[in-house]
A and B are shown apart, each in its own frame.
Chain A
Amino acid sequence: DAGVTQSPTHLIKTRGQHVTLRCSPISGHKSVSWYQQVLGQGPQFIFQYYEKEERGRGNFPDRFSARQFPNYSSELNVNALLLGDSALYLCASSLEAVLTEAFFGQGTRLTVV
């Protein structure tokens, strides 16, 4: 059974551009959470989606948005990219909304130049 898959693995964008990151959860998992990890820091919570609805949102600007599809995969969108958006973006998959057991993807490393 495949684990949590994220795409792309690496990405370089220029300031002002838009980016879409994708996450496919483990089969049967209905919850996807997104985290941003800036170099040298711990991950920070961005969003949680469960059953296609937003269940939680961290302290991120409106440039960050996400959605979850009927097959439970998810996209994270970031508009008007800033240099400070350069980070590893992690997706976590869990069976239910409560994160008692969760599995992480390998992440997408975004570099904004």
Chain B
Amino acid sequence: KNEVEQSPQNLTAQEGEFITINCSYSVGISALHWLQQHPGGGIVSLFMLSSGKKKHGRLIATINIQEKHSSLHITASHPRDSAVYICAVSSYTGNQFYFGTGTSLTVIP
């Protein structure tokens, strides 16, 4: 069993739709990261969370520490949001990340 599970694996949405990607983890963490990866590209860090909720533009990330669950929401989705979104947690011992396998998002105009 992976330490970090994401759902869905693949997601196709119409432009303008509200999108939710979920992440569950099983290890004790010091922080959870949401990352974005465009095809062939490197990774961009979107959010780092240890509690509560953060918002940046059309992106919102929430975390529930008790339930070991986080969600990434995209409001008013746009084709340029098409990418792979990866949930990663830094372990409580702190020396490595555990990554989910990613959610591939395609937003159709």
A residues neighboring B (CB under 8 Å): 6, 33, 35, 41-45, 48, 50, 55-56, 58, 88, 90, 92, 97-107, 109
Find B96's partner among A45, A106, A107 (CB 8 Å cutoff). A45
* Beta-carbon nearest neighbor of A47 in chain B: B96
* Beta-carbon nearest neighbor of B89 in chain A: A99
Determine how close the nearest CB of chain B comes to the CB of A70; give it in whole angstroms.
21
Q: Does B25 contact A (CB under 8 A)?
A: no
In contact, A92 and B97 (Cβ under 8 angstroms):
yes
B residues neighboring A (CB under 8 Å): 4, 30-31, 33, 35, 40-45, 48, 50, 86, 88, 90-91, 94-102
* Beta-carbon nearest neighbor of A107 in chain B: B42
* Beta-carbon nearest neighbor of A42 in chain B: B99
Task: Please report the C-alpha to C-alpha distance between residue A6 and residue B35 in the assembled complex, in whole angstroms.
Answer: 18
Determine how close the nearest CB of chain B comes to the CB of A48; give it in whole angstroms.
5
Task: Please report the C-alpha to C-alpha distance between residue A90 and residue B101 in the assembled complex, in whole angstroms.
Answer: 15
In contact, A106 and B48 (Cβ under 8 angstroms):
no
Most A CB contacts (10 A, CB to CB) among B91, B95, B102 go to B95
In contact, A35 and B97 (Cβ under 8 angstroms):
yes
Determine how close the nearest CB of chain A comes to the CB of B85; give it in whole angstroms.
11
In contact, A42 and B100 (Cβ under 8 angstroms):
yes
In contact, A90 and B31 (Cβ under 8 angstroms):
no
A45-B98, A98-B94, A102-B45 known; 15 other A-B pairs, CB under 8 Å?
A6-B42, A35-B99, A41-B101, A42-B4, A42-B99, A43-B86, A43-B88, A44-B99, A45-B97, A90-B43, A92-B97, A99-B97, A100-B30, A101-B31, A109-B40
Give chain B residues whose Cβ lies under 8 Å from the Cβ of A97. Answer: 94-95
In contact, A42 and B86 (Cβ under 8 angstroms):
yes
Pick 27 A–B contacts, CB within 8 A, sort by A: A35-B99, A42-B100, A42-B101, A42-B102, A43-B86, A43-B97, A43-B99, A45-B96, A55-B95, A90-B43, A97-B95, A98-B30, A98-B90, A98-B94, A99-B90, A99-B94, A99-B96, A100-B48, A100-B50, A100-B90, A101-B31, A103-B45, A104-B43, A104-B44, A106-B41, A106-B43, A107-B41
